[in-house]
């Protein structure tokens, strides 16, 4: 199947043609599935991501411009981005580390547990000194693992502004912790 055929099907999908959508799925899903599988390395997640890919294709077919690039590249980009989003949506590693650390807490002597609790309270106190939005951004970036771009989108600020927020907030936290 050539680029023109795929572009034609995408154009018909943009008009709501379900048969064209079924043909597009039949002809392109093996390649898009392989992209998802290569990134996610999990068959079930790749299958779920592929479903989301085709939902996005159905919703966004009208914005595809055949003169700006190859339709297969457009489809592959949607698949790649969806797989990456799925990968980011996995439970953050920090949660797994916290769980493992909590299990290990029982092995700590009472003095070490007290020191850890005090340190946690100091961090909480320092976080309270930050503006509420900045504190939330710091938690989401460094505990939940959100990317700078995701945070910028969530807070409705430019990417460089988010970077500046986080850098300045970390400097304030370090100052506070050194007192």
CA distance 27 to 109: 62
Its pTM stands at 0.52
The answer to whether the beta carbons of residues 6 and 71 sit under 8 Å apart is yes
Q: Using 50, 70 and 90 to split pLDDT, how confident is the model at 100?
A: very low
Q: Does domain 3-89 have CATH number 1.20.1070.10?
A: no
From 1.10.760.10, 3.10.450.50, 1.10.10.10, 2.60.40.150, which CATH number describes the 93-178 domain? 1.10.10.10
Q: How high is the pLDDT of residue 147?
A: 85
Q: Using 50, 70 and 90 to split pLDDT, how confident is the model at 99?
A: low
Express each pLDDT in 134-153 by its tens digit.
Answer: 989 988 887 777 888 888 99
CA 158 to chain centre: 17
| Residues composing the chain | 179
Query: What is the pLDDT of the chain when averaged over all its residues?
Result: 84
């Amino acid at each position: 199947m050539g680029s023109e055929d795929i572009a034609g099907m995408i154009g018909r999908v943009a008009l709501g043609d379900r048969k064209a959508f079924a043909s597009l799925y039949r002809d392109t899903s093996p390649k898009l599935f392989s992209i998802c599988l290569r990134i996610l390395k999990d068959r079930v997640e790749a299958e779920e991501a592929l479903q989301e890919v085709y939902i996005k294709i159905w919703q966004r077919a009208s914005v595809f411009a055949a003169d700006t690039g190859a339709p297969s590249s457009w489809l592959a980009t949607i698949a790649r981005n969806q797989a990456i989003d799925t990968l980011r949506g996995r439970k953050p590693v920090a949660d797994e580390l916290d769980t493992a650390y909590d299990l290990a807490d029982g092995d700590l002597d009472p003095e070490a547990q007290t020191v850890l609790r005090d340190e946690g309270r100091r961090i909480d106190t320092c976080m309270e000194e930050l503006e509420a939005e900045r504190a939330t951004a710091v938690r989401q970036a460094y505990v939940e693992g959100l990317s700078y771009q995701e945070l910028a989108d969530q807070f409705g600020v430019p990417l460089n502004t988010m970077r500046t927020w986080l850098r300045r907030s970390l400097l304030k936290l370090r100052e506070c912790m050194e007192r």
